[in-house]
Homo-oligomer: A and B are copies of this chain.
């Protein structure tokens, strides 16, 4: 019995992990190059040099593949900053988001996945889980700022972290411009100013 038939058994560096890495790399390539509409499991298997049956058995459908792609991004996500200042922590977060959206591969991937999430419910759920994980990872920056007395008690940490991302995604999706360093700096400063002014108190 090989590891392939036991999806629960993922040893780092083992065959299962290697297959997953190749398939997700191929899926990311197709998404970034051609978009969600052209994502096809047989094509991904061929590019990854993996049997079609393995891909169908493990991921089932395109939505399962996208969900796993986002899960992998969560695993690889950068841990939250702890600079001792809310503004600097939020700048680190804004720059992480900026780098993701400006990366030719990851930026294209996010545009494709967000577009697909507007009409595909399983992709929408996977996207929500990705953002929930990101926001939860960075929320302590705000909790610590509350403890330091930088922002009012009762501030919703998740809303502050989402406020940093919002203008950067908005720029990419509506104006088509990947955010630059000025935009990232401004997003962090705006979220910090709003938090200090008590805008995000529940």
A167 adjacent to chain B (CB < 8 Å): yes
Contact of A114 among B37, B174, B199 (CB under 8 A): B174
Q: How many copies does the complex hold?
A: 2
Residues in B whose Cβ lies below 8 Å from that of A111 = 118-119
A50 adjacent to chain B (CB < 8 Å): no
A127 to B37, CA, bound (A): 21
Chain A contact residues (Cβ within 8 angstroms of B): what range? 35 or more
* Interface 1/0 per residue, A140-171 and B, CB below 8 Å: 00000000000000000001001101110111
A200 to B182, CA, bound (A): 11
* Complex contact B35–A174 (CB within 8 A): no
Residues in B whose Cβ lies below 8 Å from that of A21 = none
Chain B nearest CB, measured from A121 CB (Å): 9
With known contacts A118-B115, A170-B165, A124–B176 Cβ distance under 8 A: yes
Which residue in chain B gives the minimum CB-CB distance to A127? Answer: B174
A80 to B16, CA, bound (A): 58
Chain B nearest CB, measured from A191 CB (Å): 8
* Complex contact B163–A174 (CB within 8 A): no
A112 adjacent to chain B (CB < 8 Å): yes
Listed A/B pairs (28) with beta-carbon separation below 8 Å:
A35-B118, A35-B119, A111-B119, A114-B173, A114-B174, A115-B115, A115-B118, A115-B119, A117-B173, A127-B174, A128-B174, A131-B175, A159-B186, A162-B167, A162-B170, A163-B167, A165-B170, A166-B166, A166-B170, A186-B199, A189-B199, A190-B190, A190-B194, A190-B200, A193-B194, A193-B196, A193-B199, A197-B197
